[in-house]
Amino acid sequence: MKAPLILFLVTTVLPVFFGRIRSAPFWLTLQGVALAWAGAASHGSWSAHALAALAEVLLVRALIAPQLLRRAVRGRAEPDLELMPSNLFAWAIAITLIVLAFEFGAPALDDRHALTLGTVGATVAVALLLLAVNDAPPAQLVAVLFMENALALFESLLPEPWPLPVHVALGMIYLMTIGVGAWLIGRPDAPVHAVADAASEGKRP
């Protein structure tokens, strides 16, 4: 169970510290794979419920969502900026939040619960920091998707998995989030120089 949690944590920390906006779909795909791996390990048996939940995670979170985000980011035709500005102050806050998240999970009953709580807490904390320091629409959407994936990871702490209708509802919410978000960020305002060029073309005899 530790391996998928470590993979999930890596896919949260690395892109925020070193990743750029156009690489975010790749990290979301890895997060979906880590979620599916953690879910398969927590279910314990391959029931119809477990298979349906696994299919939902792989299809929605590892395949559809990254593709929609990639298409929206390319449609904006903007420079490939960093997810989080690389300055010492922001990095220090992010590292402090990650450490505090794992300190929060330390009193858990066993190592698996402690690591899961720490990973969930670190993901939510880093996503909130990303929302605070980067006002670019694609970065804001990535932060929201990170938080929703952290909520899905929290399921592995439950003694019994969520009922299948809950899985379906969460999948629909995730799809609506990425669908509406991708539609909004994929419709940028026309650049000023493009408007000026169009106006000058119209004035030519």
pTM: 0.81
Amino acid at 183: W
pLDDT top residue among 39 and 182: 182
Q: What are all long-range contacts of 197-204, with beta carbons under 8 Å and residues at least 24 apart?
A: none
24 pLDDT above the threshold of 50: yes
Q: Mean pLDDT lowest for which of 34-38, 46-50, 64-68, 129-133?
A: 46-50
3 state SS of 96:
helix
> What H or E segment, with its residue span, contains residue 13?
helix 2-18
Partners of residue 82 on adjacent β-strands: 20
Amino acid at 148: E
Instruction: Give the mean pLDDT of the chain.
Output: 81
Residue 172 tokens, joined: 């629909």
Query: What is the tens place of the pLDDT at every residue in 120-173?
Result: 989 999 999 999 888 888 999 999 999 999 988 887 777 676 777 877 888 888
199 pLDDT above the threshold of 90: no
42 pLDDT above the threshold of 90: no
Neighbours of 22 (CB within 10 A): 16
